[in-house]
Amino acid sequence: MEAVRYVTMGAREADATLVQEPSAAQQMARQLSEEQVAEVAAAVNSVPDIKEPSDLRQVVEALRSSKQTAFSAEDLASVEAGIAALERPLDARPTWTAQKGRGLFFVFEGLDRSGKSTQSRKLREHLQKENGPESVKWMCFPNRELATGCLIDLYLRRQIELGDGAIHLLFSANRWEMANTILEELNRGVSVVCDRYAFSGVAYSAAKGLDFHWCQAPDRGLPCPDGVFFMRVDPEVGAARANFGDERYENAEMQASVRSEFQLPRLHEGVAWQVVDGGRAIDEIHEDICKQAAVLGQAGQEGDTKSIRGLWMQQQQ
């Protein structure tokens, strides 16, 4: 089932020419009362840190056995579906069949407040002008309309506590819940422009000291983007932008560590990784990205069909 498309809370970059849309994080936060948040916090507080995907079911059971009212039985079943995707061994993960004339899949990555949201929306608008208003779908991870995304949102806002392993796997489960939606959109001829993806998940968790390969393993096999635009800015630049500090990871030390992880070649091995100087004028950056997107759209063509690979599936552990 496709998630409701709200604009989610990511980097709210200072672009005075763009009208800010209500974020899905804000939408979800308005649906939970202080009492409900407290119930969820109490339920998950007893869950020990988690090292294996199957252990993530402890979070579901803690919520199911508590008196919390924030998550319905259907919500908890959707979380379990995401966990089931993580539990599949590597050789049992899906292969992605591309249809003729499929859309393109572009991802924007970078530090918090680096310009990802602004530039991803501007690329969406550019592609819509070229191909029509229904030709592009914009999405953001985490998808906070899903139950997994709501838990992540509460964690990022410091309203609940979870161990580093548990929150990493929740982020991955959130992406797997949307994997089929991404494939379906692409095969309908719709391009997908995404603010954050698995690369952020690995970089942020590895920056906290978790093993890189352990962090990468849950996301191996997800649909691989046709191109990733990494918005390179100094951590000080993002820290100076509006609303920096609202979420858990928005502090100078963490952002510097994440930047180092993003720069390591092992993170983007086998990926069309484009480093974009995010310190320039917004329109100059946008023009550069549009040119690169046009080139990336022609790469990897096999006859009339552009294949969809599994992310990081060619790498050896």
Q: Which run of H or E residues covers position 157?
A: none
Residue 20 identity: Q
The strand pairing partners of 132, in sequence order, are none
CA angle centred on 254, ends 248 and 258, rounded to 5°: 115
What is the dihedral sign for C-alpha 54, 59, 65, 71?
negative
pLDDT along the chain (317 residues), means of 10: 30 31 42 94 93 95 96 95 95 94 96 90 97 96 94 94 96 97 97 97 96 97 97 71 62 87 94 94 96 87 79 79
Angstrom distance (rounded) from CA 276 to CA 251: 22
How far is 50 from 39, CA to CA, in rounded Å?
21
Tell me the CA end-to-end span of the chain in Å, nearest whole number.
33
Question: For residue 113, which phi and psi values (nearest 5 degrees)?
Answer: 65, 35
Question: How many Å apart are CA 90 and CA 305, to the nearest integer?
Answer: 25
What does the pLDDT read at residue 298? 83
Q: Of 31, 254, 37, 33, which Cα lies nearest the Cα of 161?
A: 37
- The pLDDT score that the predictor gives to residue 245 is 56
**Phi and psi at residue 100, in whole multiples of 5°?**
-60, 135
The whole model's pTM is what? 0.87
Query: What pLDDT does 237 receive?
Result: 64
Classify residue 132 by its DSSP letter: -
What type of residue is 147?
A: A
